Amino acid sequence: MNRLFKKMFVDIWKLKAQFISIFLMCFVGILIYTGIEGVWNGMQNQIQKYYIESNLADFWINGIDFSESQVSEILNLEDVINVEKVAIVNANIENDFDTEVRLIVKESNEISKPYKVDGEKYINSKTGIWLSSSYAKTLNINVNDKVTLRYGDSIIKASVLGIVYGPEYVSYIGSSSSIMPNPSKFTYAYVSKDILEALSGSLKYNQMGLTLKESCDKSKLKTEIRNVCKSNYIGSFDRTEYAGVSNYINKVEQIKKMSIMFSAVFLLLALLTIQTTMKRIVNKQRTQIGILKALGFYSWQIELHYSLYGLIISSLGAVAGYFTAPYTVTPQLLNLQKEFYDVPFWKGETSKISIILIMAMISVCTFTAHKACKKVVKELPVYSLRDENSRYGKKLFIENFNVFWNNISFEWKWTLRDVFQNKSRTIIGVIGVLGSLTLLMASFGIQDSVKKVNQNIYGNQYSYYKKIGISNISDEEKGNAESILQGDFQWISEGNAEVRSKSRVKTCAMNIIDNGYYFTITNLNGSVISLPNDGIVISETLAKELGVSENEEIKIYELSKNYVVRIDKIISINTPQAIFIASAYWEKIGGVFMPTSLLVGNNSNIVDIENENYSKDVHLLDFQLKEADDVLRSIKAIIFMLIAAAVLLSVVILYNLGLLSYTERSREYATLRVLGFYNSELKSLIFKDSVFTIIIGLMFGIPCGVQFLKIYVGAVSTSTINYFAYLSVVSFAIALTITIGCSLAVCYLVSRKVKSIDMVEALKSIE
Amino acid sequence: MNAIEFINVTKEYEIGNNSIKAVDNISFSIEAGEITVILGPSGSGKSTTLNLIGGMDRVSNGTVKVLGSTISDFSDRKLTEYRRKNIGFVFQFYNLIPNLNAYENVDLSRKLGKNPLDAKEMIKAVGLENRMKHFPAEMSGGELQRLSIARALCKNSDILLCDEPTGALDSNTGQMVLEVLQEMAKEYNKTVIIVTHNANIAKCASNVIRIKDGTIQENFINENPLSVSEVIW
């Protein structure tokens, strides 16, 4: 057996290109999967840990000045475990950015407890402020520093007692018009009771955080809460509806789906390549197996020997990938996420799936090697010592088309017969090209799709110059603003409402839109949807969640009122996934249209409006588009990694196959050299073989790429943004160029080997 | 006129730290249009000599002249051109392209020659007219070697190099193949060099070069070469 071990290492060295390719496929396959799994699994586990530690609420009720009796009644509801009153007031911190700050007072600090990073633990009775970690870091504020808070005309200086993370504010963007966190513009902070009371003049609890039993029926709970809170009720949200929490969950899901889908395709292709390569390596050792048998080695020794080929190489590759990922891919990608989320714990963590995947990969390699050698080991040595004579010519069906067949060169005849004779090799080559193009199209396409959707939203759907956040505007102020803007404006109200369908209750976004052309609802086809005056329009994603169809009636709850409305149209829209109502219709059915935003064009009088008390914040459309594109950064690294993997996949598969094909034909090439073929003619022969594979691969790769992109984009869509598949001509051309370029480059590398053909080999017998 | 001339040719191979002289300062000449047999046991240097004539290998020292040109000075490309235009090969193990049928294998060679002969005629000439569309895997050893001869002749090159042409065949088939070779060489007036360890083949040659340990032991002209059928195998 020792000799066999030695032989194995000699063989591995001799066939290093093939073994390196198997090593690389195992390494990269596991590296990518484990690397990205480390990110989403780590994010998922760490957030769970954080949520458990902070006792994050399962449910939130927003309202106006909840009374003690209401809190007690909520606590007595069947599914409720605990309740905590929270007072929230939006104020400002006086600094260069005039940061809008959400000030929070927690009554008992038992639910959704802030996580302390520095300073003291939050206690609502101790005078001071606990700033969010992201804000403190951005503005370089430390414990014991002082900040000045402003609420209307009231100004208070508060001492910073601690730096914290708020578990409910993992992704706090502050305004519905913001796209990504900007702590200098919007932040949150916990304050003592006395500070909030002194600042706002009173302490009114307007939120309740609830912890629930696992078996809780949330639709039922919403109804019960509404009945308890009555006119104090505004809305209620579970974790999937509460933006500060759900954005993070959505992102984890997005990364998870992206990595699983890509890895599944990559690993499938890798396993296919490994299987083919292992089989061919063992088959090439056919005569050696015969010799070993003739020498008296037992079958099990030979089988073990060749199984070890697969076992050792795949184990080395897979294990190396597994241990490299946590130090390379995972931390790089996690660092990118840190920018977007306020979470105290960041740690990459792999799951059992990685281990299962490694075992599967090693098993496939070992099993393939074993299976291939078992077939030969079963034969009598006299047969295995003979050449298998696998390379036999065979007439093809297309040869019956004489006009075609008689007019093609012998090179093409040779190539075509070779292609059809070695079907599995051809199929793997085609799959290599197809797989590479599919993955590249998906990787480029996901970027294009996100960008296209952003352009569609901040360009077609919203076409204003500025969006001014409005609060508590009076009719008189509204009239004045309209006259200042001379008709160049549009009022909209963006809020949440509880919607009840026949089967479900859900808190969802509701947009009430006034006349104007700065917010045009466009569906995914780009066609403009006009809002009816006798019904509402609802987005497809939301319609699915509510289980409703067109012309069905739903009930909208807003404050203490409810409205029964007919669904006029269900539309596919990128975002928001909401209910859209014309302001005129809303008022017709008895609602009060209270705009939350004013959309304006590039008007010189805007400054006058911005300076009014009702103006909260201002967002430039261009900046919103930039912010939306910036979100791409969080997935861009993943996309680039996937592109690199796709390129590596095609290079490894094609180089490997090219090399195997070249080795199998080397005697024929040597003969042709002896007969007087120039190197260039032999190279052209090798190219023809590859060209066929490339063309077929591309023919199938393009439709596969389109389909995969559609599925891929569908998978990364979230409950708030619905992406559609889009691949720009430039991206398609790049994907095509990379695939063809890699294929040709590999072909060139393989064809260079003709220079070193040993013609004397042609004169020797076949070993 | 000399078709081939070897002048003090040496071929050395470096194997590890050792140097082995496969051919050691040999000189001989071969007349155009004659059949020459290079005879010798395994490892004698006969195949090396054939490789040097065929431009598949380079001399370490000395000069090789073929058809008046000093091929030992040729560049790689010129050597390829030389093989393409001037040399026809018959291999011990046939070396036919498995994915091309009999006709295509011969026709492939025709395309390389400067004044090639008709592929179908050549196949007919070696008695394989009924096997035109057959692939090598469907043919016997004798047929394969006849096809190999047809391929070598089709180029219409001046020199035919045969490396153990009967080495992989039984004696009857080998005899049949040699008959074809002799007949064809005569008919098309080719200079034929056969490398073999089979002394019987030497009886059919007009020139015999016996090599041992890289040196020429004997080089003689056979005034009365026998036809293949006259030789007792």
DSSP string, A426-439: HHHHHHHHHHHHHH
B chain contacts of residue A391, beta-carbon cutoff 8 Å = 98-99
H or E element, residue B200: helix B199-202
A756 part of contact set with chain B, CB < 8 Å = no
CATH fourth-level superfamily of B31-58+79-230: P-loop containing nucleotide triphosphate hydrolases (3.40.50.300)
For residue A85, give the 3-state DSSP assignment: strand
Task: Give the one of B91, B100, B112 whose C-beta lies nearest to A763's C-beta.
Answer: B91
Task: Give the one of B80, B137, B163 whose C-beta lies nearest to A678's C-beta.
Answer: B80
A670 min Cα distance to partner chain B (Å): 9
> Residue A420: what pLDDT?
84
- Look-up: residue for tokens 């080719």? B190
Q: Do A30 and A321 touch, CB atoms closer than 8 A? A: yes
Query: In terms of Cα–Cα distance, which of A308, A318, A374, A314 is closest to A8?
Result: A308
- Alpha helices (runs of H) in A59-191, residue ranges in sequence order: 68-75, 133-138
B95 part of contact set with chain A, CB < 8 Å = yes
B101 min Cα distance to partner chain A (Å): 7
Task: Count other Cβ atoms within 10 Å, centred on residue B114.
Answer: 10
Burial class (CB in 10 A: 0-12, 13-18, 19+), A215: exposed
Query: Which of B83 and A10 is assigned the larger pLDDT?
Result: B83
Per-position DSSP letters for A606-657, written without gaps between them? HHHHHTSTTEEEEEEHHHHHHHHHHHTHHHHHHHHHHHHHHHHHHHHHHHHH
A chain contacts of residue B87, beta-carbon cutoff 8 Å = 676
A chain contacts of residue B13, beta-carbon cutoff 8 Å = none
Instruction: State whether A393 and B83 contact (CB < 8 Å).
Output: no
A763 part of contact set with chain B, CB < 8 Å = yes
Instruction: State whether A766 and B93 contact (CB < 8 Å).
Output: yes
Instruction: State whether A410 and B108 contact (CB < 8 Å).
Output: yes
A chain contacts of residue B77, beta-carbon cutoff 8 Å = 678
Helix axes A2-14, A299-324, angle to 10 degrees: 50
Per-window interface: A 421-440 vs B, CB < 8 A: 421
Q: Best mutation site among B56, B99, B154, B163 for testing chain A: the one with the most A CBs within 10 Å?
A: B99
* C-alpha A456, offset from chain centre: 20
A413 part of contact set with chain B, CB < 8 Å = yes
For residue A690, give the 3-state DSSP assignment: helix
B163 min Cα distance to partner chain A (Å): 7
Q: Indicate left, alpha or beta for A296 from its phi (over 0: left) and psi (-120 to 50: alpha).
A: left
B156 part of contact set with chain A, CB < 8 Å = no
Task: Give the one of B51, B101, B137 whose C-beta lies nearest to A389's C-beta.
Answer: B137
Q: Do A557 and A500 touch, CB atoms closer than 8 A? A: yes
> Residue A305: what pLDDT?
87
Instruction: State whether A410 and B135 contact (CB < 8 Å).
Output: no
Amino acid symbol at A368: T
Instruction: State whether B112 and A762 contact (CB < 8 Å).
Output: no
Query: In terms of Cα–Cα distance, which of A725, A660, A658, A645 is closest to A693?
Result: A658
Structure tokens belonging to residue A712: 């891929």
Query: In terms of Cα–Cα distance, which of A11, A10, A5, A14 is closest to A304?
Result: A5
Length of chain A: 767
Task: Count other Cβ atoms within 10 Å, centred on residue A414.
Answer: 22
Task: Give the one of B51, B99, B108 whose C-beta lies nearest to A418's C-beta.
Answer: B99
Structure tokens belonging to residue A31: 């590296």
> Residue A497: what pLDDT?
87
B78 part of contact set with chain A, CB < 8 Å = no
CA angle A67, A72, A74 (to 5 degrees): 95
B chain contacts of residue A674, beta-carbon cutoff 8 Å = 54, 56, 83, 89, 95
Task: Give the one of B47, B100, B101 whose C-beta lies nearest to A763's C-beta.
Answer: B47
Q: What is the mean pLDDT of residues B95-116?
A: 87
Residues whose CB falls within 8 Å of the CB of residue A397, separated by 6 or more in sequence, listed in order:
none
B chain contacts of residue A763, beta-carbon cutoff 8 Å = 47, 51, 91-92, 163
Instruction: State whether B95 and A762 contact (CB < 8 Å).
Output: yes
Task: Give the one of B56, B107, B111 whose C-beta lies nearest to A759's C-beta.
Answer: B56
Query: In terms of Cα–Cα distance, which of B170, B211, B164, B108 is closest to B181?
Result: B164
Pairwise CA distance, residues A622 & A494, whole Å: 20
Structure tokens belonging to residue B130: 């009924």
Q: Do A8 and A285 touch, CB atoms closer than 8 A? A: no
A304 min Cα distance to partner chain B (Å): 34
Structure tokens belonging to residue A279: 């089989």
B chain contacts of residue A423, beta-carbon cutoff 8 Å = none
Task: Count other Cβ atoms within 10 Å, centred on residue A763.
Answer: 24
Q: Do B190 and B153 touch, CB atoms closer than 8 A? A: yes
Structure tokens belonging to residue B97: 């392209």
B221 part of contact set with chain A, CB < 8 Å = no
A239 part of contact set with chain B, CB < 8 Å = no
Please give the span between the terminal C-alpha atoms of chain A, in angstroms, as a whole number. Answer: 24
Task: Give the one of A392, A410, A760 whose C-beta lies nearest to B56's C-beta.
Answer: A760
Nearest-CA residue of chain B relative to A767? B93
Instruction: State whether B109 and A668 contact (CB < 8 Å).
Output: no
B158 part of contact set with chain A, CB < 8 Å = no
As a CATH number, domain A472-613 is 2.40.40
Can you say whether the dihedral through the CA atoms of A433, A435, A438, A443 is positive or negative?
Answer: negative
H or E element, residue A90: strand A80-93
For A34, A247, A330, A359, A420, the CA distances from A350, given in Å and listed in that order, are 6, 22, 10, 15, 43
Nearest-CA residue of chain A relative to B109? A675
> Residue A25: what pLDDT?
86
A292 min Cα distance to partner chain B (Å): 25
Instruction: State whether B135 and A394 contact (CB < 8 Å).
Output: yes
Residues whose CB falls within 8 Å of the CB of residue A578, separated by 6 or more in sequence, listed in order:
A508, A509, A510, A511, A538, A539, A542
Per-position DSSP letters for A98-118, written without gaps between them? -EEEEEEEESS--SSPPEEEE
B chain contacts of residue A389, beta-carbon cutoff 8 Å = 137
> Residue A281: what pLDDT?
78
Pairwise CA distance, residues A557 & A547, whole Å: 18
B chain contacts of residue A680, beta-carbon cutoff 8 Å = none
Task: Give the one of A410, A676, A765 whose C-beta lies nearest to B100's C-beta.
Answer: A410
Amino acid symbol at B172: N
The HSE-up count of residue A630 (CA atoms within 13 Å, CB side) is 13
B106 backbone dihedrals φ, ψ, rounded to 5°: -75, -40
B132 part of contact set with chain A, CB < 8 Å = no
A198 part of contact set with chain B, CB < 8 Å = no
For residue A378, give the 3-state DSSP assignment: helix
- The residue extents of the domains of chain A are 1-54+249-388, 57-238, 422-460+622-767, 472-613
Pairwise CA distance, residues A322 & A84, whole Å: 44
Q: Best mutation site among A402, A681, A763 for testing chain B: the one with the most B CBs within 10 Å?
A: A763
- The residue extents of the domains of chain B are 31-58+79-230
Mean pLDDT by 10 residues, chain A (767 residues): 76 82 88 90 93 94 91 92 94 90 92 94 94 94 95 92 94 78 91 93 92 89 89 87 84 83 79 76 80 83 87 92 93 84 90 90 87 81 63 76 84 85 82 88 90 87 90 87 87 90 87 91 82 92 91 87 92 89 93 91 82 84 86 75 82 81 84 88 87 90 93 79 89 93 89 84 58
Pairwise CA distance, residues A91 & A201, whole Å: 13
Pairwise CA distance, residues B103 & B130, whole Å: 11
Helix axes A243-284, A633-675, angle to 10 degrees: 10
Nearest-CA residue of chain B relative to A406? B104
Q: A513 forms bridges with which residues in the sheet?
A: A492, A582
Instruction: State whether A674 and B56 contact (CB < 8 Å).
Output: yes
Structure tokens belonging to residue A219: 């639709």
Instruction: State whether A668 and B98 contact (CB < 8 Å).
Output: yes
B89 min Cα distance to partner chain A (Å): 7
Q: Do A489 and A467 touch, CB atoms closer than 8 A? A: no
Task: Give the one of A392, A671, A678 whose C-beta lies nearest to B95's C-beta.
Answer: A671
Q: Do A246 and A341 touch, CB atoms closer than 8 A? A: no
Q: What is the mean pLDDT of residues B109-124?
A: 87
B148 part of contact set with chain A, CB < 8 Å = no
A283 part of contact set with chain B, CB < 8 Å = no
pLDDT tens-digit map of B119-129: 998 899 888 99
Q: Do A651 and A354 touch, CB atoms closer than 8 A? A: no
For A399, A416, A504, A661, B196, the CA distances from A427, given in Å and listed in that order, are 21, 13, 50, 13, 44
